[in-house]
Amino acid sequence: MSHDDISHDHRDQDRPQQDTGGHHPTPMLDQLEEGPWPSFVTGLKRLRDAEGQQYAPMMNDLLGQLEHSYNERLGFWKGGTVSVFGYGGGVIPRFSEVAAQFPASKEFHTLRVQPPAGLHYDTDVLRKLCDIWERHGSGLIAFHGQSGDIMFQGCSTDNVQKAFDELNEIGFDLGGAGPALRTSMSCVGHARCEMSCYDEVRAHRSVINEFLDEMHRPALPYKFKFKFSGCGNDCVNAVHRADFAVIGTWRDDMKVNQDGVKAYVAKAGRKYTIDHVIAMCPTRALSLNDDDTLDVDNKSCVRCMHCINVMNKALSPGDDRGAAILMGGKRALKVGDLMGTLMIPFIKLDTDEDYENLVALARRILEFFADNALEHERVGETMDRIGLPSFLEAVGIDPDPNMVNHPRTSCYVRTDDFTEEAEKYFERKARESGLDVAAE
- The CB-of-74 to another protein minimum distance in angstroms stands at 6
Taking the C-alpha atoms of residue 414 and residue 53, their distance in angstroms, rounded to an integer, is 71
Torsion, CA 213, CA 219, CA 220, CA 222, rounded to 10 = 120
Would you give the distance in Å from CA 269 to the centre of its chain?
A: 39
Q: What is the DSSP annotation of 289-318?
A: -TTS-EEE-TTT-----HHHHHTTTTEE--
User: Half-sphere exposure of 60 toward its Cβ, with a 13 Å CA cutoff?
Assistant: 24
- The CB-of-357 to another protein minimum distance in angstroms stands at 19
Measured from the CB atom, the residue of 20 and 322 that comes closer to another protein is 322
- The CB-of-176 to another protein minimum distance in angstroms stands at 11
The CA distances from residue 73 to 58, 66, 95, 251, in Å, are: 22, 10, 18, 53
Measured from the CB atom, the residue of 320 and 428 that comes closer to another protein is 320
Measured from the CB atom, the residue of 17 and 71 that comes closer to another protein is 71
- The CB-of-402 to another protein minimum distance in angstroms stands at 13
- The CB-of-358 to another protein minimum distance in angstroms stands at 15
Measured from the CB atom, the residue of 363 and 431 that comes closer to another protein is 363
- Please give the span between the terminal C-alpha atoms of the chain, in angstroms, as a whole number: 79
- The CB-of-353 to another protein minimum distance in angstroms stands at 18
Measured from the CB atom, the residue of 301 and 365 that comes closer to another protein is 301
Measured from the CB atom, the residue of 103 and 179 that comes closer to another protein is 179
Does residue 221 sit in helix, strand or coil?
A: coil
Q: What does R_g of the chain's alpha carbons equal in angstroms?
A: 27
Measured from the CB atom, the residue of 72 and 427 that comes closer to another protein is 72
Taking the C-alpha atoms of residue 277 and residue 269, their distance in angstroms, rounded to an integer, is 11
- The CB-of-429 to another protein minimum distance in angstroms stands at 26
The CA distances from residue 316 to 160, 231, 257, 262, 425, in Å, are: 48, 11, 9, 15, 33
Query: How does 304-335 read in b/e, with b if 16+ C-beta sit within 10 Å?
Result: bbbbbeebeebbbbbeebbbbbbbbbbeeeee
